[in-house]
Structure 1
């Protein structure tokens, strides 16, 4: 049995769809999953990038494409009243629902994703909604505690060190698979596709230095 780590931030519609689609995409395969909430904005900051929603033409395409993906997968998806929004309360709540040293379970993660992406256009950071969600999930630790904040910081830094640059990312055996459209690769790897064993994975990532953009 392979062990998968699913890195996510509930701010990402792709992560939301990937979470829902994962059991179907890997149906019949032997695996376990560990869900690791991380702060996507921290990845962007560390890598010097803007988020898709911060570039207007890209934002328009992202939400058109994710709407199509939800339609194709037969999954409900409702864009929240504000996006981007501050996901920190949800990320901390996710970690607070797990005992120290453990990770949140699938039921917790599902409820948090659906709070954002199946909310009939409600605001995901609305104080009353967050309070109701916290009461429903009954965290075993205080989401506002320094312990939980540090857990999220450490998890995000560890993901960066591993090479995670976006969400959703699945890590298995040290290999990183990014995005909703990588699930066929994950399934192939779990099935033992020889492509992963004969050097093609490594060869495809060999640097090929070329023209570099001049600094502004």
Structure 2
């Protein structure tokens, strides 16, 4: 089975899902890993992120911490959030968006609680990944173009949030949808029963004006 995983290092939910995605990639699913800028999706769809809404920000952080503890995932928030993830995204692309680079960057930011908003902050990770000149690596025009192509691919695939898995034209959004994706792997006809087809065509009863 082939699938694409869209993610941004700014997302703690992507960090928590990564453990299961990585396991599936090693044994069951041929993944294409595509880092993208979550803020670009928010702008494209006219949305605010949960960390940009008073009250929701605090609840989301508490929920993340609670969920990580429940699932036995080591997690420590970085010094500030939200943060600018561009340097981390570009470093990942410079390393070929490999499992090793994704793992190292997520661990640095979300397991160890370090800043990931500048290439200077990420220098230890870059060295660990064999990148001697981190500034040159993230400034490479091809790295920047790849990140833009990833974003364009996300829009074509109908992505509206991270993390998201796309498999057989189906989008599975969020860490909470991981189990749903795993069931889809076992049963590709998961959405073919009458009720699933009915709700896919459900008309809007009212639309809120912007």
Aligned to 1:54: 52
Q: Residue 27 of structure 1: CA displacement?
A: 9.8
Pick aligned residue for 1:114 from 107, 129, 133: 107
- Can you give the 5+ residue segments of structure 1 that lack an aligned partner in the other structure? 99-103
Cα distance in 2 for partners of 1:186, 1:28 equals 16
Deviations 1:30-61, CA, capped at 9 Å, x for gaps: 32222110110000000000111110211111
TM-score, structure 2 as length reference: 0.89
Q: Contact 2:157 / 2:166 at 8 angstroms: preserved in 1?
A: no
State the secondary structure of the residue aligned to 1:83.
coil
1:127 Cα deviation after fit: 4.8
1:138 and 2:110 correspond: no
Residues 36 and 126 from structure 1, CA distance in 2 versus in 1: closer, same or farther, beyond 3 angstroms? Answer: closer
5+ unaligned residues in a row in structure 2: which ranges?
none
Distance in 1, matches of 2:37 and 2:72, equals 28
SS across alignment from 2:122: helix
Q: What is residue 22 of structure 1 aligned with on the other side? A: 21
1:28 CA drift (Å): 10
Say whether residues 1:124 and 2:116 are aligned partners: yes
1:10 alignment partner in structure 2:
9
Aligned residues: 207
Tell me the residue number matched to 1:101.
none
Structure-1-length-normalised TM-score: 0.87
- In the TM superposition, what is the alpha-carbon distance from 1:137 to its structure 2 partner? 1.4
Coordinate RMSD, CA, aligned: 2.2
